[in-house]
Chain A
Amino acid sequence: MIEAHGLTKRYGPKTAVDGISFTVRPGTVTGFLGPNGAGKSTTMRMIMGLDRPTAGSVTVNGKPYAQHRSPLTEVGALLEAKAVHTGRTAYNHLRALAATHGIPASRVGEVIEMTGLQAVAKKRVGGFSLGMGQRLGIAVALLGDPKTLILDEPVNGLDPEGVLWVRNLARFLASEGRTVFLSSHLMSEVAQTADRVLVIGRGKILADASVQEFVDGSSTKSVTVRSPQAAQLVELVQRDGVVVTSSEPGLLSVTGTDAASIGEAAAANGIVLHELTPVTSTLEQAYMELTAESVEYHATGAPDGAALPDGAATPAPTSTEGAAR
């Protein structure tokens, strides 16, 4: 259980996390979703007592993290791959961290096996790939067999097999009654793993809901219509609240009404339809819609939707937060 109350972090004039409050419950996987720079990592570092909140507070399992006598058995965290001395082997890194709690070497062997690191455990971490570093980070998180897991971008750098493994692991740990809080900037990842989503943008919570509620709550439900008499059909369905857009001749995207009424209107007027498809919005669309105005860095001149993923960012901060809404 993680509880935040008015949690705020400012770096000079810049507010990274802006008075957020939320609860992450045990027995579920909660996805922490937001564009890069939205405040996810800062929030997670504050939960772990690494960064000091400017205001507000956050507790894990009822206490601030630093006040637990046995922090590693309360919370296991993957805060960033390679928070590891590059000159030390994976095994010795785990041994050193286990030693802080008197956790025996046998447990170190267990987590190495669980994360599939046997082959590289005696190699120095400096030579690890991103994926191996990520597995080592997860091994550290599991070391104390914690009640709560905090995983910051756990699938970064993993191959498809590794991604599947993290997904199954997160679900499995939650099914054991643990609290699993994982961040991602990829909606699709969270959609396949999480029960709940916490969406953050520009340091503010934009949504806190179950994955289903989040999709249902989204306003983009449209109907794709293909007709040789498109222009005629537009006149028929057009009324208040109905928006019709067209990206190519004969193809319409209609929002504000449903497929049944479009079909009935077409039949009543003898209009030929080649396609009539209700389009339910995906989680990805709901997310893009929600965070569109809160994306920290917009790629200029890129096609719609290309602004979110890693690397597409041009450092051109938008200055008017939410003003476009």
Chain B
Amino acid sequence: MSAAAALPQSSAQGTLPASQYHVTFGHAVMSEWVKFRTLRSTMWTLGATFVVLVGLAALVAGTTGSPDAGPNFSDADIATTPLVAGTGFGQLVLAVLGALTITGEYSTGMIRSTFSAVPTRTPALIAKAVVVVVASFVVALVATVVAVAIVTPIFSGKPWALDLGNQDILRVVIGVPLYLAATALLALAFGILIRSSAGAIFAVIGLVLVVGPILANIPVHWLNNIADYLPSQAGQNLLTINPTQGPAPWIGFLVMAAWSVGLFAIGTIIAKNRDA
């Protein structure tokens, strides 16, 4: 480094009139957006989400022959199956993204730079949530729209045509990105609370894939009821044409959103008061 010994000739006193620059929520969002898009893990996880949602939709639609619909399985169910096929894997990938957004800062020490620049902390954390939720939602929405464009011609003319005029089908199309964005926020909240990448990812995946199914399968009625109101189980009713148990579709999504927002709020209060 050749310039090492040189004095900073213009230490830029004067080039930066102090009063002009300050922390605003908009600036915090810009900062989090720069951070978000400049990590490779972001591109990998968002890319994987897109590929899985589109790829599985095409695969499932292409292999749907003459489905043997059960009593609770309507044509609308068949029509939307390709669209929700990728959500199982997509939610795991976005959970990793949501958790890493904050745990990556704790594990590297970056969090101290973040909280030095935005010492009230809350704007930085809310900005993170905004960026994670919006990015997850947009990528999942675009992927779902592409999936609809692929599935529609394959199913056209069949009894299970993908008809967006059907309220329930349209609800599922909008529901996929909403569900995935809520999952990413839930993971971010766990990340703030737990701070370790492995711990936060384990907690979210455990809650979604282990705790819910176990409670749902124990033949004890009130345990099953609790399972229905866990974030992932409640949220999945938004992706189901005719939910047979648990809350109604939009109520279910509100339950999930309440989990995500509630845990995020608790995490923010804790992070604001603990040593960074």
Contacts and interface: CB of A to CB of B under 8 A. Distances in A.
Contacts of B11: 114, 142, 145, 172-173, 176
B13 A83 contact: no
A47 B24 CA distance: 22
Contacts of B66: none
A72 B120 contact: no
Contact of A116 (B2, B16, B113): B2
Interface residues of B, number: 51
Nearest to A91: B38
Contacts of A140: 113
Given A95-B34, A116-B4, A172-B7, A50 B21 contact: no
A2 B20 CA distance: 23
Contact of A50 (B16, B27, B30, B116): B116
B67 interface: no
A266 interface: no
A69 B23 contact: yes
A162 B5 CA distance: 7
A142 B27 CA distance: 19
Contact of A100 (B3, B16, B19, B118): B118
A96 B35 CA distance: 6
A63 B1 CA distance: 38
Interface stretch (B77-85, B101-109, B137-145): B101-109
B69 interface: no
Given A100-B23, A101-B117, A161 B4 contact: yes
A203 interface: no
Interface of B: 1-8, 11-13, 15-16, 18-24, 27-28, 30-35, 38-41, 104-105, 108-113, 115-120, 124, 273-276
Interface of A: 45, 48-52, 65-66, 68-74, 77, 79-80, 82-89, 92-93, 95-97, 99-103, 107, 110, 113-114, 116-119, 135, 140, 142, 144-145, 147, 161-162, 164-165, 168-169, 172-173, 176
Given A50-B112, A71-B118, A99-B33, 4 more contacts: A68-B119, A80-B112, A103-B21, A145-B15
